[in-house]
Structure 1
Amino acid sequence: MSRRFLLLLALTCAAAVGNLYFAQALTPLAAEGLGVSTGAATLAVTATQVGYAAGNYLLVPLGDRFPHRRLLTVLLCLTGLGLLVAGLAPGLPVLVTASAAVGLTSVAASVVGPLAAGLVAPGRRGEVSGMLASGAIGGMLLSRAFGGSLAEAWGWRTPYLVAAAVMLLLAWVLAAALPVRPAPAAGRPYRALLAEPLRLLRTEPELRRSSFYQATVFAGFSAVWTGVVLLLTGPAYGLGAPAAGLLALVGAATMVCTPLAGRLTDRRGPDLVNLVCLLGTLASAVVLAAGALGGAAGMAALVVGTLLLDVAMQCGMVANTTRVYALRADARSRLTTAYMTCAYLGGSAGSWLGARAFGAAGWPGVCALLALCAAAALARHLAAVARQRTGPRAGRAASSAPGAGRKSRRGSR
């Protein structure tokens, strides 16, 4: 895989992920333009997220049934058409419906990952996963600024129309650039593909392990970002809601860190990267707790703590996906579905628990929840590594070795 082609795939991830977030900055202007309340206009954002969750479960497994070039081209074209309809929507019902369709089809990043893993040698999967993660992070962070700036200058419809043009252009480029490769499960019934992720979770210990790490850490991550808005707008700081958006920009540093984590994963294996990231997540809970002090010292703690948490979560995800992609070359899309579903459920639970932890114990309660999530994942990780080292099959438990294959499943039983 050439570096130019890898950058094209990273750009595709950025554009697809950006579709999930840029509408958040348009809500007030869209509400004004459509003559509805701001609360009603947020339904478009909610519909996009719900559609994305459904797309990961319903569409990503098709990556094992259809050639990636055809699937990606169709998904990007459908996303472009959905964005076009949203940009031309005459009223809120059409906008909400189109937004759900955009979320449903914006799963290109989940399709690109398995595609890229199959195009490189096992010793480069971490590097490639890190680059794709960097692209996705950039799309998430920059899309809000992109959407807000265009909307302020030319109206709320403009970002949708520009995004539609970008997706259709990417579809045309990828149709010419992607290699033609047969699908590993061509002709497999769709119903069987949908049932496969649950079976894989039962039969693949290393998939369960990676999914547990990501679900718990993402739960703590979501709890923090739910609680930090309440903290910043509360009496300790008295800031407006946009302050949380500015704080989120510190996560841009992860665009540099994830490729480095990928290279380290290739050299030393995912277990070492997971260990460092879980310890970093636990340390971030301690740093973030000082945010309750308020003032300059508290804000500094929030900046450092959220940066540490962002880096730990995203770099840990690179290690987890590298481990998952090494399990079965014939089922990478279905493995991705199982992994992403677990991560999404963990994040949703974390948001719910974070709001309740803040209501019950304030910001220290949110930090305690983050520490509990990190400790649970760390305990699971240490137990798995100990079994690999002392168990009778430790020699074959190659999950932490670069380029580990299906035999890695036996090590964590």
Structure 2
Amino acid sequence: MTPGVPPAFSRPLILLLSVACGVAVANIYFPQAISPLIAAGLHVPPTSAAVVVTCAQLGYAAGIFLLVPLGDRLRHRGLVAVLLSATSAGLVLAGIATSLPVLAVASTLVGLTTVVPQILIPMAAGLVEPERRGAVTGTLLSGLIGGILLARTFSGTLGEWLGWRAPYLVAAGVSAVLTVLLTAVLPRTTPSTDQRYPKLLATSLHLLRTEPLLRRSATYQVLIFAAFSAAWTALALLVTGPRYNLGASAVGVLALVGAASMVATPVAGRLTDRRGPDVVNLLCVVGAVAAAAVLLTGDLGGIAGLVGLGAGMLVLDVAMQSGQVANQARIFALRPEIRARLNTAYMTCAFLGGSAGSWLGVRLYARFNWYGVCGLIALLSVLALLHHLRASLTPLRPSSWIDNHEDDPLRTSRH
């Protein structure tokens, strides 16, 4: 880093980056609440409109793989500004789309460019002391969670009032404002590598082959995030369907029950700093299994069903987000000089899993109703638990975990 960069991020700057992460990531999640409104507005079946959610997640996975490695190659300030500007343009295109194919393409483009959180988080991890890395990662991820929660509430409520186009156009304006703010406050950074772009991409694939702890983290998140995405995509169909016959705003209200996960992620970060990521992962996968059981009550309908849905989604939200803290803390400790590429490999896998989960959730809901979705959540969660047990019996390179005693090369490079 350049000499003008402070030795550690100040608390106000960390909080601002946390808000920025939430605003950016909201673009991936707010279509989940308004897909029934999109279906009505474009005169397509609800299950067809849900493809917008899948396209956004696929675009995000592609953006992580293709663009996030540039966080090691380019200065963060300029890269973030360009990506947010492109996101704003994509949101405008989505907001004026007149057909589902155009909206699907625009959603893919938005997903492709709205990868700013996955650039900011590794950058922040490189500017803080190792003993604070888990806590700071948890704080930024709590901003992500806030964005995810408020995204569904924002789009569901605004969509009910002004139609499904309004959330896209408002989000475009917010992204434009965020571009100006981050351009003003982000510290000047020096790239950590001068490798050519093709080699940067190849490095991410190579890391998946050669870093067992990276594969462990990626496998956890593929399974749990697939369960999470299946639940939320199908939930909009359940709540707005004949079982409950509620509006899109009800999906946003249900999303607010996950607010507890904003408190849980900093706690998960501190627990990761003290006990290591495996303890947090175990708690999270057990929680995901329990969430699948609780979510079964959602098929009851009425108040009891809504309470069950709220409780189950809360547990699943906390499990997924807290596991994310543990997984990213694990990979950021492996090789500090290539954090962006480690995060690229990890998050690409995670959102490919999320995209698959959304696609499977819609199809299982159409064929087997809500029970099919809960069965998928349970299966994925049990697979994650078995993965944890297997990894615990055959530990992989435990020395890769930096337990607050080793020097961090990026700490010395900041001065």
- Structure 1 length-normalised TM: 0.82
Determine if contact 1:25/1:144 at 8 Å carries over to the other structure: yes
Q: Give the alignment's Cα RMSD to 1 decimal.
A: 3.4
Question: What is residue 23 of structure 2 aligned with on the other side?
Answer: 15
Rounded Cα–Cα distance in structure 1 between residues aligned with 2:162 and 2:367: 44
Change (3 A) 1:320 1:166: same
Match for residue 271 of structure 1 among 278, 283, 304 = 278
Determine if contact 2:122/2:339 at 8 Å carries over to the other structure: yes
Rounded Cα–Cα distance in structure 2 between residues aligned with 1:229 and 1:148: 10
Determine if contact 1:27/1:41 at 8 Å carries over to the other structure: yes
Rounded Cα–Cα distance in structure 2 between residues aligned with 1:36 and 1:348: 22
Question: What is residue 112 of structure 2 aligned with on the other side?
Answer: 104
2:68 is the alignment partner of 1:66:
no
Determine if contact 2:152/2:252 at 8 Å carries over to the other structure: no
Determine if contact 1:398/1:404 at 8 Å carries over to the other structure: no
Q: Provide Cα deviations, 1:221-269, integer angstroms capped at 9, x if missing partner.
A: 233334545555677x443463444333312221121122112212222
5 Å matches for 1:400-411? 401=403
Q: Which amino acid aligns with 2:143?
A: G
Question: What is residue 412 of structure 2 aligned with on the other side?
Answer: none
Determine if contact 1:271/1:400 at 8 Å carries over to the other structure: no
Determine if contact 1:50/1:103 at 8 Å carries over to the other structure: yes
2:322 is the alignment partner of 1:315:
yes
Gaps of 5+ in 2: 1-8, 409-415
Q: 3-state SS of the aligned residue for 2:109?
A: helix
5 Å matches for 1:10-409? 10-22=18-30, 36-37=42-43, 47-84=55-92, 89=96, 92=99, 98-147=106-155, 159-186=167-194, 188-229=195-236, 231-232=238-239, 237-240=243-246, 242=248, 243-355=250-362, 357-358=364-365, 363-388=370-395, 397=399, 399=401, 401=403
Q: 3-state SS of the aligned residue for 1:179?
A: coil
Larger displacement relative to structure 2 (336-345 or 144-153): 144-153
Rounded Cα–Cα distance in structure 2 between residues aligned with 1:127 and 1:274: 16
Rounded Cα–Cα distance in structure 1 between residues aligned with 2:212 and 2:295: 33
Larger displacement relative to structure 2 (73-82 or 241-250): 241-250
Q: Which amino acid aligns with 1:135?
A: G
1:120 Cα offset (Å): 0.7
Rounded Cα–Cα distance in structure 1 between residues aligned with 2:167 and 2:104: 16
Determine if contact 1:278/1:374 at 8 Å carries over to the other structure: yes
Rounded Cα–Cα distance in structure 2 between residues aligned with 1:239 and 1:71: 44
Q: Which has the higher contact order (CA 8 A, sep 6+)?
A: 2
Change (3 A) 1:244 1:161: closer
Percent identity (aligned): 54
Change (3 A) 1:76 1:226: closer
Q: Provide Cα deviations, 1:104-150, integer angstroms capped at 9, x if missing partner.
A: 21110111111111011111111112111111122222234434555
Rounded Cα–Cα distance in structure 1 between residues aligned with 2:130 and 2:228: 30
Question: What is residue 5 of structure 2 aligned with on the other side?
Answer: none
1:27 Cα offset (Å): 6.6
Q: Which amino acid aligns with 1:56?
A: I
1:24 Cα offset (Å): 5.7
- Structure 2 length-normalised TM: 0.82
Change (3 A) 1:146 1:306: closer
1:60 Cα offset (Å): 0.9
Rounded Cα–Cα distance in structure 2 between residues aligned with 1:63 and 1:37: 41
Rounded Cα–Cα distance in structure 1 between residues aligned with 2:247 and 2:288: 25
Rounded Cα–Cα distance in structure 2 between residues aligned with 1:348 and 1:95: 17
Rounded Cα–Cα distance in structure 2 between residues aligned with 1:366 and 1:163: 30
How many residue pairs get matched? Answer: 396
1:322 Cα offset (Å): 0.8
Determine if contact 2:35/2:236 at 8 Å carries over to the other structure: no
Determine if contact 2:62/2:348 at 8 Å carries over to the other structure: no
Rounded Cα–Cα distance in structure 2 between residues aligned with 1:30 and 1:397: 50
Question: What is residue 5 of structure 1 aligned with on the other side?
Answer: 13
Rounded Cα–Cα distance in structure 2 between residues aligned with 1:339 and 1:382: 20
Rounded Cα–Cα distance in structure 1 between residues aligned with 2:153 and 2:231: 22
Change (3 A) 1:301 1:166: closer
Q: Which amino acid aligns with 2:133?
A: R
Determine if contact 1:270/1:400 at 8 Å carries over to the other structure: no
Rounded Cα–Cα distance in structure 1 between residues aligned with 2:378 and 2:400: 29
Rounded Cα–Cα distance in structure 2 between residues aligned with 1:192 and 1:328: 17
